Chain A
Amino acid sequence: MSLEVRNVSRSFDGKQAVNNISFFAEPGEIIGILGTSGSGKSTVLRAISGLDRGYDGDIAINGNVEKEIQDTTGFIFQEPRLFPWLTVLDNVTFGLKGDKKDKIARAKVYLKNVGLDESGGLYPRQLSGGMAQRVAIARALVTSPEILLLDEPFSALDAFTKMQLQDLLLDVWKEYQSTIVLVTHDIDEAMYLCNRIIILRGQPGELHKEIKIKEPRPRNRASKQLAAYKAEILESLDLNVKTS
């Protein structure tokens, strides 16, 4: 599904958070939204999801302008946000409708995908941070969302778990070809995963630059080409000016 964001602005209590953001995502594309904190990355994502409807401008999914939450949209939050009273399996089936047996069978497939097929009976409190986030990923993917929104999904994880889950996300994406919008402040993550990176800058956040990452996948995290992109991104983030 394609996604179009047209002239989206959002203010909270008179203070503008983002100003006039527009971009277009082709079906099956991975778009990264990168920016320093306070540049309104999450605000844009929440507007796309429909959780926040107080924005100005239009957001069109497959050409239809809607402000409501869509069934076809999945959201992975920064924290796992699992329901503590449900087992892992029940957490994954939470958003599914229909016959119970089908739901469980489907959830098991996705739990296997994220490497947790043995843990379906556990409660969230028994999981480590990485496992919990994997359950959250399975829960978001099980409804086969055509648009998947990720809000710094791996930022609370250690470096190794993070890389593992990034690869997992790519595997899943290869299989289902969802359109993905990923908000992150991790430049390496954005370069490793995305087709295009949108850089937000300033307060209120404005679209500063769009960078296309032409490297074919699988990408090498330590390649020279990515290093060159990193230099470009760092420059456009203009960190020196901001801190002074």
Chain B
Amino acid sequence: MKHKGELTSTVVVTNRINEKKGERTKRDFRGGEALILGSIIPIALVIVWEILSRIGVFPAYQLPAPTTILETIRGMAQDGSLWNHIGITTFRVFLGFVFGTIAAIILGSLVGFYKRAEQLFDPMIQAFRSIPSLAWVPLFILWMGIGEPSKVTMIAVGVFFPVYLNLVSGITGVDRKLIEVGKMYGLNTFQLIKRVILPAALPSFLVGLRSGLGLGWMFVVAAELMGASKGLGYLLVLGQNTLSPETIIASIILFAIIGKLSDWILKLVEKRALRWQDSLVQS
């Protein structure tokens, strides 16, 4: 969207506004079109699945019909257990996300701003990064039991790395030319960080937050699989143990919905914070 030419008269202004409105409705329409196009295949698949389940091609003990799954979710919603499961899982992800992000901000800023800190911490953090994070699970359980602390720690570890790495690369990648402009205006180190380096590192940081959140959802599944009495991950185990695939699939679908929802919230934040950016936020 380039600003074209100067405004010369009010007529032009109103014309432009009308033009803009037209553009917007057109774009909305196009968005709707894209939505319809994108839903054709999933809807068709669900219908085919339903039919095939009804006529018995898929045995119900392996792949129940979509309506059965919906019924399961509705049942859980009615007796209230659904909100309980969703609530506790979201709460765990949220806590882990917050702790992981705080740790990443503290360490990432240190490493990004101070050469000495980079030399001290970065090799160690890089080494830890190459450990598949799920390998920590047994150790955390041993240390903290199977209660909340070990789960939240697991998730925090998962969130930490993408946030940390993106923050560091954002800070170290700030254009030296912009820093020079700040220096020309006599900014001291603290002002430079606040007014130039942090805003410039923000896009990269937000990318880190989004991928961190994605990993957070992955790790909550792992954490809840290994031992929980509540949560969507627990539903997975429950479904497996009680031979009810509809519970498993219901849980998977709920994960998909909440995961997408939380990512969408972050995307909104990103869009607001990065209005100035050239490219629109990628979905």
**A residues lining the B interface (CB < 8 Å):** 49, 51, 69, 71, 73-75, 77, 79, 81, 83-87, 94-95, 118-119, 122-128, 143
Contact = CB atoms under 8 A, between A and B. Distances in A.
22 contacts: A49-B184, A69-B186, A75-B181, A75-B184, A77-B181, A79-B177, A81-B180, A83-B178, A83-B181, A83-B200, A84-B278, A85-B276, A86-B276, A87-B276, A94-B185, A95-B184, A95-B185, A95-B186, A118-B6, A123-B275, A125-B276, A127-B3
A84 B185 contact: no
Given A118-B6, A122-B3, A126-B1, A85 B183 contact: no
A69 B276 contact: no
B199 interface: yes
Nearest to A87: B276
Given A81-B178, A83-B178, A69 B202 contact: no
Contact of B183 (A51, A83, A86): A51
A69 B192 CA distance: 15
Interface string B168-204: 0000000001101101111000000001100110100
Contacts of A75: 181, 184
Given A94-B195, A143-B185, 11 more contacts: A51-B184, A69-B183, A71-B186, A81-B177, A83-B196, A85-B200, A85-B202, A95-B184, A95-B186, A122-B3, A123-B275
B2 interface: yes
A133 to B, nearest CB: 14
Contacts of A87: 276
A119 B3 contact: yes
Contacts, number: 56
B65 to A, nearest CB: 51
A69 B187 CA distance: 10
Interface residues of B, number: 22
Contacts of B277: 84, 125
A91 to B, nearest CB: 10
Contacts of B202: 85
Contacts of B177: 77, 79, 81
The residue in A79, A85, A123, A124 that gathers the most chain B C-beta atoms within 10 A of its C-beta is A85
The residue in B1, B2, B202, B276 that gathers the most chain A C-beta atoms within 10 A of its C-beta is B276
Q: 4 closest pairs, A vs B, by CB?
A: A95-B185, A126-B3, A123-B276, A85-B199
Nearest to B7: A118
A95 B180 CA distance: 12
A75 B196 CA distance: 17
Contacts of A95: 184-186
Given A83-B178, A84-B276, A125-B276, A69 B184 contact: yes
A143 B187 CA distance: 14
Contacts of A94: 181, 185, 195
Contact of B278 (A51, A74, A79, A125): A125
B178 to A, nearest CB: 6
B120 to A, nearest CB: 28
Interface in B1-36: 1-3, 6-7
B6 to A, nearest CB: 6
Nearest to A149: B184
Contacts of B196: 83
A50 B202 CA distance: 29
Nearest to B181: A81
A127 B3 CA distance: 7
A125 B2 CA distance: 8
Contacts of B7: 118
